[in-house]
Amino acid sequence: MLLAVDSTENEGLSCMVSGSLYNPTGSPPDPRKFIEDWPMGIWQRMMGEPFNTADFSNDKLARFPDGYPVRLADLDFTVRNENNILHGHSRFAFSVRGARYGYVNCSLMAESAEEVAQRWAPLADEVERVVNSFVLYPP
């Protein structure tokens, strides 16, 4: 599901929310502990693969209103399409609960990292509100 973030400066910003069942046999036995003990390398392995470059930062453990853990992080990335290189920035929230996972990802892409930073700055508070509003309810 894509979310619209209304702003006069949001050109190029998109937020996506996704949730699904996953195969518990290939997953950690304690999803709550998995999210709480999440090392930075997991971001790269689980979310960074589709990008040509993916640099995660600001990893943080947060809590849903009921106290269940959720991970938050920023991502600076590049994607290549033939002769074009696009730069981007994303803010993620991700959690696993029971046999389900879910995330929200707000991202913006531009032709240069500098342009991304300039366009992201006035949207940062709005993006943070969207990402922090994500809740993965119990099954």
Residue 90 scores a pLDDT above 80: yes
Q: What backbone torsions phi and psi does residue 133 show, to the nearest 5 degrees?
A: -85, -10
Per-residue model confidence (pLDDT) at position 34:
85
CATH superfamily ID and name for 2-107+114-132: Mog1/PsbP, alpha/beta/alpha sandwich (3.40.1000.10)
Residue 71 scores a pLDDT above 50: yes
- The strand pairing partners of 14, in sequence order, are 107
Give mean pLDDT, residues 119-138: 89
Residues 6+ apart with CB under 8 A from 38: 59, 61, 71
Beta strand 100-110 pairing with 84-97: antiparallel
Give mean pLDDT, residues 40-58: 89
Domain ranges of the chain: 2-107+114-132
